[in-house]
Structure 1
Amino acid sequence: MLLEFLTSTYFDNSVLMWGYALGTVLLFIVFSRIVLFVAKKYLKKLTSKTKSDFDDLLVDLVEEPLAFFIILAGFFVGYQFLSFPQSVSDIFYNILRVLVMLDIIWFVLKFTDSFFERIIKPITSKTKTKLEDQLIPWIKKTVKIILGFIGIVIVLDNMGIDVFALLAGLGIGGIAFAFAAQKTIADAFGGVSILFSRPFVIGDTIRFANGAHTGKVEEIYLRHTKVRNLDKQLVIVPNSILAGEIITNITKTEKRKVMWTIGITYDSSVEKINLAKKIISNAIKNCELCDSDYTVAFQDFGQTSLNILVIFYTKQATFKAMAAARDIIGLEIKKEFDKNKIKFALTTQRIQLKQ
């Protein structure tokens, strides 16, 4: 009974041959899982202890692409137990060939990723400038796109598709696409301009859009730049806008200017005005965050106050340093004004009624 079942035929092959074929495929799948497990569990631990990054690169490569290649090899070996018409075999081998090529493309792209992450990045991180660090992601993406495109062309050619005719058709459509993608192209050129002219780099605090936005640059991409503003909101700015903007790089600024107009009441005597100026000057002098260059002078007669002009500079240009200096000086002025009975002027309005 069992022998009769094993010798029975389905799709021109006996059950026994189908069993050999499926068993072979399953065996290769199990073997691929073992290879993947060993690579992730043990090889990575061993290579992480070595000084060289080359062995880490090799382990990255032998993971998924190699496991998939082993599975494809299992299908190839398993198919040898079966007998099909030549037309069916041609279709099977063509599909298998395409899958092998796609696996090779996967391998090459994974190699590119690992090569840039484990070999190139550690080298560029040791340089003094940040230009190389910003260029690496762009170069990596460009290389991967080119390699992927070449791989797809080879696959299509092996499938019998006329690649040159296809590319010619894409060339005609590319003209229309170029018109539609003018904004994208402008953003890309803006990104290249920013990268090489370097008005700012990642980590710089900038002010742009006529002073409407101030924030820290987090990422610079080909099309846009990500800026985290003072409200901790992420602002995504097209590079074409930034490339044509007047940008103030606060990080590159040596000092940061603070300007106040402090108004005191009109009933203040000249002595009180001079005392107020002295209190303000001392507050600035005693603040360690402030530069020695400052101005404190009587400004003008306001509608409701006698105005004193105050200009000082912080030693650091960061927003935190400026806010801290304003806080220290402002509270010191308030404390001394209260102690010496100097009154801040309030905005008032006088209404005269005629009877």
Structure 2
Amino acid sequence: MENFDWTTFGDNVLIDGLFGSAIVIASFALFFYICFVFVKRFMKTRHLDNQKSILNIVRGLFWIILVLIILSRFHIFSSIAQGIIASSGIIALIAGIAAQDTIGNLLSGIMVVASKPFIVGDLIKINGEQLIGFVEEITLRHTIIRTYENNRIIVPNNQINQATIENATLIDSTKGNYFLVPVSYDSDIDLATKIIEEECMAHPDFVDTRTPLEISTGVKPIVVRCIEFSQYAMMLRCTVNSENSFKGFEMLSDLRFSIKKRFDKEGIEIPYNQAFIKK
């Protein structure tokens, strides 16, 4: 045992000898460690979700590759390791075809996180009025959106990446809300207009978007216009600005109640089709 030659043993067992194989394995181990540290720091700077799961996957892949490299240094295992490495390309191709939707969602998730068209907490609209809600969570596979009804909608990132997105939480988030009020032909239109203007301006969520020049020249904060003579009513409409769509929805609901009460008090009628009223 004292005369045992490790160098000769290494030359017989290892392809590149003891020192050559040690250098190759150490070089790959150092390379994988540097790559892992780079991936970890990149994810932290980008604030990616599911960091722990992704790092575990990356770490596992690096260990598998390193073990195959170590086995390939031994004469007895070299053919087996090379066969596994050669077949991994075919396996990866088959897996890629089978999971192309998943891979597409992952790549789209990376693009969403990197470009940041929206962040958690933003109010967004997807494809016009198709889906409206607050972004609750962004993962590499999907985005969770909370609607006004407090439902959670899970949208694959591949669809998010192809959709037209309106972000209502960006710098200028003021929302112009159309407010439609029908008034009977027998009612005092001037009084009805005055009531609508007063109630809109009195609401705490109303936002006055007039410029200083418009204020100095006497432009009204609320302008009520008649847009149609319908069969039963004059259709009056105004634009009431709010901070965002969510507050605008609540504000219009409040205004319908308050204006209806003022109309009843002042004798202004909101007409309806009486043919549907049962006697």
Tell me the TM-score normalized by structure 2.
0.69
Give the CA deviation at 1:348: 4.6
Give the CA deviation at 1:257: 2.3
- What are the Cα deviations for residues 295-347 of structure 1, in whole angstroms up to 9, with x where unaligned? 31122200111111122111x2151x224322432222112111110000103
Give the 5 Å matches for 1:12-23.
none
Give the 5 Å matches for 1:155-234.
162-234=80-152
Give me the whole-angstrom Cα distance separating, in 2, the residues matched to 1:163 and 1:141: 27
Runs of at least 5 residues in structure 1 that lack an aligned partner in the other structure: 1-111, 125-130, 351-355
Give me the whole-angstrom Cα distance separating, in 1, the residues matched to 2:96 and 2:275: 62
Give the 5 Å matches for 1:1-355.
132-133=46-47, 135=48, 137-138=50-51, 140-154=52-66, 162-252=80-170, 253-268=172-187, 272-292=188-208, 293-314=221-242, 316-319=243-246, 321-348=247-274
Paired residue secondary structure (1:290): coil
Give me the whole-angstrom Cα distance separating, in 1, the residues matched to 2:181 and 2:61: 66
**How many residues end up aligned between the 2 structures?**
220
Give me the whole-angstrom Cα distance separating, in 2, the residues matched to 1:295 and 1:167: 73
Residues 256, 222 of structure 1: alpha-carbon distance in 2 compared, 3 angstrom cutoff:
same
Aligned-partner residue type, residue 295 of structure 1: V
Q: Which has the higher contact order (CA 8 A, sep 6+)?
A: 2
The answer to whether the Cα contact below 8 Å between 1:208 and 1:247 also exists between their aligned partners in 2 is: yes
Runs of at least 5 residues in structure 2 that lack an aligned partner in the other structure: 1-35, 209-220
The answer to whether the Cα contact below 8 Å between 2:123 and 2:135 also exists between their aligned partners in 1 is: yes
Paired residue secondary structure (1:291): coil
Paired residue secondary structure (1:294): coil
Over the matched positions of the two proteins, sequence identity in percent amounts to 27
Give me the whole-angstrom Cα distance separating, in 2, the residues matched to 1:338 and 1:132: 57
Give the CA deviation at 1:154: 4.7
- What are the Cα deviations for residues 31-69 of structure 1, in whole angstroms up to 9, with x where unaligned? xxxxxxxxxxxxxxxxxxxxxxxxxxxxxxxxxxxxxxx
Give the CA deviation at 1:185: 2.3
- What are the Cα deviations for residues 182-217 of structure 1, in whole angstroms up to 9, with x where unaligned? 222221221122112211111112111441221221
Give the CA deviation at 1:278: 0.5
The answer to whether the Cα contact below 8 Å between 1:187 and 1:223 also exists between their aligned partners in 2 is: yes
Aligned-partner residue type, residue 206 of structure 2: C
Give me the whole-angstrom Cα distance separating, in 2, the residues matched to 1:165 and 1:250: 55
Paired residue secondary structure (1:226): strand
Give me the whole-angstrom Cα distance separating, in 1, the residues matched to 2:95 and 2:260: 64
Superposition RMSD in Å:
2.9
Q: Which has the larger radius of gyration?
A: 1
Residues 210, 318 of structure 1: alpha-carbon distance in 2 compared, 3 angstrom cutoff:
closer
Paired residue secondary structure (1:303): coil
Residues 257, 220 of structure 1: alpha-carbon distance in 2 compared, 3 angstrom cutoff:
same
The answer to whether the Cα contact below 8 Å between 2:183 and 2:270 also exists between their aligned partners in 1 is: yes
Give me the whole-angstrom Cα distance separating, in 2, the residues matched to 1:283 and 1:243: 42
Aligned-partner residue type, residue 241 of structure 2: Y
Paired residue secondary structure (1:227): strand
Tell me the TM-score normalized by structure 1.
0.55
